[in-house]
A = this chain, B = another copy of it.
Amino acid sequence: MMKQEYKERLQAVADAVTSRIDTLLAPSGAPYDELKQAMAYSVNAGGKRIRAALAAECARMFGAAEDVCIEIACAVEMVHTYSLIHDDLPCMDDDDLRRGKPSCHKVFGEATALLAGDALLTLAFSVIASMPQTVSADPANCLRASQILSSFAGIDGMVGGQVMDLQNENAVVPAETLKQTNALKTSALLSAACQMGAAVAGASEEMLACLFDYGYHLGLAFQVIDDILDVISTEEELGKPIGSDDQNHKTTFVSLLSLEGAKKLAEEHTNQAAQALKKLPDPAFLTELTQDLLNRRA
């Protein structure tokens, strides 16, 4: 696939997801319409729609219709957004800004932000469960997608990773712990996105296992590169101050393994992600996306 075609497909998925989510969250005149406003504000706050693209393109790879691809993409994007809203709350990371814009609770208040996160998580499962009606998807395949999402977003997935992240604060943790934290916090939902897409299209468990591996290594490579960029990038390129991890006394792959060791680790996970892709029927888009994410300068 040419880089141009990859970029066009990424943009097309992003646009279709935004449009569909706008429809799902359109005000209905209910007294609680502000909830939908808060949800839509955060879902459309400028994310790159990476998880949505993974879900949509994996569904497409196994033969799903366009509307099925977009529906499952919306579900995973909602879960990603809910996790960001809750992560930004004062009792968690207490972040006033998200991608340069005021975070949900700064605009709508803490209570509404909490409930907007809750409602986005709930709506994601509603979108999947309604797919037999909305886009003629197979009920058993949808249930498998719901199982994947709930399993990778929960205790032994994203939420467990957030608990580990809290525990790691202001502590020097060993590399294995840092790896496990990132595997749960980041890889889990990337893996889930790929597998959910493939599952609604009826892919085999063997293919789902390949996509699990792909997401696992993609997530780890992504995080290691994040840590590297925090050291070697410029503030101009990164769009935020560099060296923030060091100032926050945060254990990173660079602080544990040195810059060279971290670069080697990123390369290893990138290679293993590429290996996993080789087993898939049509990995061209994912191959481009992997390169795009891992060669980034910011």
Which of A126, A132, A153, A156 gathers the greatest number of chain B CB atoms within 10 Å? A126
A160 at the interface (CB under 8 A from B): yes
CB neighbours (8 Å) of A164 from chain B are: 31-32
A163 at the interface (CB under 8 A from B): yes
A155 to B126, CA, bound (A): 11
Contact of A122 with B31 at beta-carbon distance under 8 Å, contacts A91-B111, A111-B92, A130-B147 already known: no
A255 at the interface (CB under 8 A from B): no
CB neighbours (8 Å) of A143 from chain B are: 129, 132, 139-140, 142-143, 146
A32→B118 contact, CB < 8 A:
no
A155→B32 contact, CB < 8 A:
yes
Distance (whole angstroms) from the CB of A133 to the closest CB of chain B:
9
A35→B123 contact, CB < 8 A:
no
A147-183 vs B, Cβ < 8 Å mask (1 yes, 0 no): 1011101111001111110110000000001001000
A203 at the interface (CB under 8 A from B): no
A2 at the interface (CB under 8 A from B): no
Number of interface residues of A (CB under 8 A): 56
B129→A31 contact, CB < 8 A:
no
CB nearest to A117 among chain B residues: B118
CB neighbours (8 Å) of A267 from chain B are: none
Distance (whole angstroms) from the CB of A257 to the closest CB of chain B:
20
* Cβ 8 A contact of A163, one of B34, B123, B156: B34
Which of A36, A112, A150 gathers the greatest number of chain B CB atoms within 10 Å? A150
A153 to B125, CA, bound (A): 11
CB nearest to A25 among chain B residues: B155
A167→B31 contact, CB < 8 A:
yes
* Cβ 8 A contact of A91, one of B110, B118, B132, B156: B110
CB nearest to A93 among chain B residues: B111
A89 at the interface (CB under 8 A from B): yes
A50 at the interface (CB under 8 A from B): no
A123→B150 contact, CB < 8 A:
yes
A14 at the interface (CB under 8 A from B): no
A127-147 vs B, Cβ < 8 Å mask (1 yes, 0 no): 011101000000110111011
CB neighbours (8 Å) of A129 from chain B are: 143-144, 146-147, 150
A160 to B36, CA, bound (A): 9
Which of A122, A161, A163 gathers the greatest number of chain B CB atoms within 10 Å? A122
CB nearest to A133 among chain B residues: B147
Contact of A151 with B180 at beta-carbon distance under 8 Å, contacts A35-B160, A143-B146, A163-B34 already known: no
A163→B35 contact, CB < 8 A:
yes
Which of A's residues lie within 8 Å of B, judged by CB?
A: 30-32, 34-36, 39, 82, 86, 89-92, 109-112, 114-115, 117-119, 121-123, 125-126, 128-130, 132, 139-140, 142-144, 146-147, 149-151, 153-156, 159-164, 166-167, 177, 180, 184
